[in-house]
A = this chain, B = another copy of it.
Amino acid sequence: MRKLITLTIAILAALPAALPLRADEGMWLFNKPPLRQLQQRYDFTPSAAWLDKLQKAAVRFNNGGSASFVSPDGLIITNHHVGFDCIQKLSTAERDLVANGYRARTRADELQCPDLEINVLMSIEDVTSRVNATAKPNMSSGDAEAARRAALNAIESESVQKTGLRSDVVTLYQGAQYHLYRYKQYTDVRLVFAPEEGIAFFGGDPDNFEYPRFNLDISFFRAYENGKPVKPDAYLTWNATGAKEGELVLVAGHPGGTDRIDTATHLAFLRDVSYPWVLNYLRRQELMLELYSERGTENARRARDDLLSIENSRKSYQGSLGALQDPALLARKRAEEQKLRQAVTANPELRAQYGEGWDIIDKAIAKSRAIYVERQMLVSGYALAGDLFSKARTLVRYADETQKPNEQRLREFRETNLESVRFGLLAEPPFYADLETAKLADALSFWMESTPNDPLIAQVLNGKSPRHRAVELVQTTELADPRIRKELLEGGKAKIDASKDPMIVVARLVDARSRELRGQYESEVQEPLRQGYAKVANAKFHAGGDDVYPDATFTLRLAFGSVKGYTADARVQPWTTTFAGLYERAGEHKNAAPWALPKSWSDAKPKLSMTTPFNFVATIDSVGGNSGSPVVNRAGEFVGILFDGNLPTLGYSFAYQDVDARSIAVHSAGIIEALRNVYGATELIQELTKTR
């Protein structure tokens, strides 16, 4: 699955790719599209209008995925696994929309997601010089960080006041450029259609990140405003024939994060510290959730979203770590780095401007390494994982931060983000005390294992074992009740300070050290990395001219490639799979989970055209967060929807290649075939394909 992996790993670099570009490489900015590359490789030059339409038809699911408008009435297509979070939250033990799917036959049947926000990018503005003007060269890095943060908060505040649009300054090239992104935001999003999980995630974890694939990994939603379907500025025309072998296809989506420009020191840190730590965490989470799930079908239903997401992350991180552990990769990165450094050193002007970059980065990484585990525990919050602590901390900090001027606040409490924070605090998704307890008990135990000498542990445990303390906290806190949260939110600092709610007490207890570590990280790691990588990136610009795109940042990017099969382990993998292949694969596995076909699909078999394309692959550069990205042809028509990459693409975190790495999409013809002959969803087909 190519959903954004939301774990905070220490540092997401955002810097340009190594040179020279490899074939269809690149996750390009919409305000700096790869015109030359498209012209040279494909004899194609998209017009400004073409790009503008694609940009405004593209949708970001803020819980970690991509999507697009596909009708004038606000209909949105995304992956099933991107919509999963909402579909799960709309499900109950009695009405399981994940297992059984859902189809709204009329607008009135469309079901509102409890806590989903989606965004549409309206404009981009380069604000680099204004941001950099605030952080003077002679400032301490702590002062520089504060000044930069103040500038970002202020720019966003002004923009919201001026335009009314959600406004985020995005750090590009890990600090070389700052662009202001303005979004339309929608918080009334409703579920229109979801197939059964059995076909959406056919093959499950074993087939995830593999190819050939046979997944109807789609779901439809509709954006509403003031109780009415949105009329989007742009939407994609559905191409019912779909992608063809060999043709150029383009993708607009939100790749979550890559580390292509990282220095060798930085990559070694990821390989030796960060990724192993994250994988250890993921493995323990996965087993904890599996054990919880094994105890009964309702448990399994409750933990499903968490478990799928953890399994997906585990497989993805493992693949990426595998790429990092290949000595050849680091050797190549080291050679490229050395070449660039030599070029910089050889030129006195470049040396003066950029020469220090690598040493600044090395120092910041050393600091990051030193505080890594404690920071993960307290700042990222792994020590007290779960929904209740997260809400308690947000309440405590909301009270503190909103007393400060906007410029001095922690980034997430900037004036322009408060509405999103309140939306998150007061939303009412389902809450399961037993699952919360299991998570918290494991987290407390993990904390003891990770930093056994932290005196905060004894204070938080209060003489009890991790498990007993978790039971006690979950049983006695009242934060699961949205009315209590509302009271605490509206009561301000006085109410929070006076609260005896045990989870609020715990959140207050760990806050000082947690803020201290965060401060150290922001001023001694993040800010120096921005300064260091700005130098490295500018050195690269100097060497590489236009061929430089920034590392992924979960903001809108344009990628492109050819629809094309490949050969791996001496086996030829075709550009597309078919419906016939689906039934064959289910048969090979005796229709046993996770290859068990839903009844609708067994029943529909005689009606289906077996040669219809189902999934297909292309040489598109994509990573987690790209899930749900529309795949379009030269005419800008929807020909498929990206949902995954094969195992070799897990190395895309660090470098692109098109030898045996491919992005994987659901074919638009396959979607129509399924909607028509499996689901009889004529209203959807009509909305998607009617001539306008």
Contacts and interface: CB of A to CB of B under 8 A. Distances in A.
A322 B444 CA distance: 11
B326 A465 contact: yes
Contact of A205 (B283, B294, B461): B294
B287 A314 contact: yes
B206 A295 contact: yes
A494 to B, nearest CB: 34
Nearest to A593: B294
A272 B452 CA distance: 6
A458 interface: yes
A445 B283 contact: no
A291 interface: yes
B327 A465 contact: yes
Contacts of A467: 322
A321 interface: yes
Nearest to A445: B325
A467 B326 CA distance: 9
Interface in A255-291: 268, 271-272, 276, 279-280, 283-284, 286-287, 291
Interface in A644-682: none
B325 A448 contact: yes
Interface string A155-170: 0000000000000000
A463 interface: yes
Q: Work out how many copies of this chain go into the complex.
A: 2
A466 B295 contact: no
A445 B206 contact: no
Task: Pick the most buried of A449, A461, A467: most chain B CB atoms within 10 A of its CB.
Answer: A449
Interface string A293-315: 01110000000000000000010
Interface residues of A, number: 39
Nearest to A458: B327
Contacts of A594: 294
Interface of A: 204-206, 268, 271-272, 276, 279-280, 283-284, 286-287, 291, 294-296, 314, 321-323, 325-328, 445, 448-449, 452, 458, 461, 463-468, 589, 594
29 contacts: A205-B291, A205-B294, A206-B291, A271-B448, A271-B452, A272-B448, A276-B449, A279-B449, A280-B280, A280-B283, A280-B284, A283-B283, A283-B287, A286-B287, A287-B314, A296-B589, A321-B449, A322-B445, A322-B465, A323-B465, A325-B445, A325-B448, A325-B465, A325-B466, A327-B458, A327-B461, A327-B464, A328-B463, A328-B465
Q: Nearest 6 pairs between A and B by C-beta?
A: A326-B465, A276-B449, A272-B452, A283-B283, A206-B294, A325-B448
Given A272-B449, A272-B452, 4 more contacts: A205-B291, A206-B295, A279-B284, A286-B287
